[in-house]
Amino acid sequence: KEARRIQRPFGGQFCWGPVENLQLETKADLKGAGSWTHQYSNSSNTVNSNDEIVKGPLRMYWYRDVDFQIPNRHGQGPAPLVNRGVMVVGGLHGLCGLDAYNGHTLWKYQLRNNLTDMNGIHHDVSTAEVGSNFCLGGDYAFVCKDTFCHQIELKTGKLVRKISTPVSRDDPNQNWGYLGYHDGVIYGTVSNDAHHTSPRYKNISLRNESVLFFAADAKTGNILWTYQPEYSIRNNAITIGNDSVYLVDREIAKADAVKEARRNGRPNPPSPEDAHRKGKLKAFQAKTGKDLWEDKEDIFGTQLAVSEENDILLMFYQGIRHKFFRLPSEVGGRLAAVDAKTGKRIWDIAAEYQSHPVINGDKIFAQGGAWELKSGKPIPFTFERSYGCGQISASKHLMVFRSATLGYVDLTRKAGVENFGGIRLGCYINAIPAGGLVLVPDGSSQCNCSYQMQSWFALEGSE
């Protein structure tokens, strides 16, 4: 009984019996356990794992120290990911895979200078603007660096293949930008390396606009199709779901561009001219690139998400709580829903939100309000948290965020904001409610704040 208790889901093995007649039991997948395979949970950007298991109150499940250096928290590095019982964390010089149910290190994949551009910077261009450089899909992890995407076995960390961006090595733009996975296909963009948006750091290679979108077969690495934008593609303005790719093709905001970074530099003021730049919202068949529909009417958003369950596409601006850094084009204050099948605008409202909208069933939640997904009507939602940066990460029943320490709201109980004290989260997405747990790599990297516990850990529901 005790051996079966500690046997992990998703393939944990238990061998018992006499030597001459050993029995082997393999534990099945955990029913109701959600996954977090992309920066905003999935290729649809819902910021919701759909995990049905984890609820509050939360208690410790496992904890440990891990010899793996992640970016300084102020650099706002990519979110940890989890799929099929494996948690994958991005570090300065590679990826690290851990068993999500006991914290054991399964593998480390070396990739020099993987996230060093995000280390040592302070609330500037980072994951919030350019997206994550790694994702999970099927039995693989994918991480892009420079011109290549490295496809790695999820369970072992062994390299399967490298996939190059589909441009000439003489092209001025060659580096991988956006990275996503959906139903056996890898999606990527080629970065616009000439478009620099950091006002303070001139030597970082982080870019938020792209000059080409493409799809590659995850089984072979072969390119399936490409799309050459008329204007430009913002990395955050791409979402994939229900066998469709949605993206915004729009003129670059002139005010975002920085000619020369300087010490204590600040973003440019918003430009009235940028508010009227041309653009279009496009939909493609995900595996073939076939045009499905196009809308050129008042395409304002810088970010997209799609509800596969409701076939509704959400268009919005970047939601951030602090005023340390914001691109001039991120003017905020608006939220719209589009029929994902036809491109028809369903509703378009004025809305203030300080976090990336969470799509949970037929509702939208954010710091600042909640709305019905199908109508845009506000619904009652009280959400107040203590100090700290960072986004909300959600599951079906739980919302996790920084509120001084680790804060959470259990949507099944009227307990308000609760805390697991003594620790602090990182400055973006650091705690993941998925796999039946809340998984938290150490988010206080290189932090001098007076929080007692610095550790990698997992929390479970206590009821």
The domain made up of 35-50+68-387 has a fold known as Lipocalin (2.40.128)
pLDDT, residue 452, reads 66
Q: What is the pLDDT of residue 209?
A: 97
Per-residue pLDDT of the chain (463 residues; tens, 9 = 90+): 788 888 888 988 889 899 999 999 998 989 999 999 999 999 999 999 999 999 999 999 999 999 899 988 877 889 999 999 999 999 999 999 999 999 999 999 999 999 999 988 888 899 999 999 999 999 999 999 999 999 999 999 999 999 999 999 999 999 999 999 999 999 999 999 999 999 999 889 999 999 999 999 999 999 999 999 999 999 999 999 999 999 999 999 999 999 999 988 999 988 888 877 999 999 999 999 999 999 999 999 999 999 999 999 999 999 887 777 889 999 999 999 999 999 999 999 999 999 999 999 999 999 999 999 999 999 999 888 888 788 999 999 999 998 888 999 999 998 899 999 888 888 889 999 999 999 999 877 677 776 667 889 999 998 7
**pLDDT at residue 323 in the model:** 73
What residue ranges do the domains of the chain occupy?
1-30, 35-50+68-387
State the Cα torsion 431-436-437-438 to the nearest 10°: 20
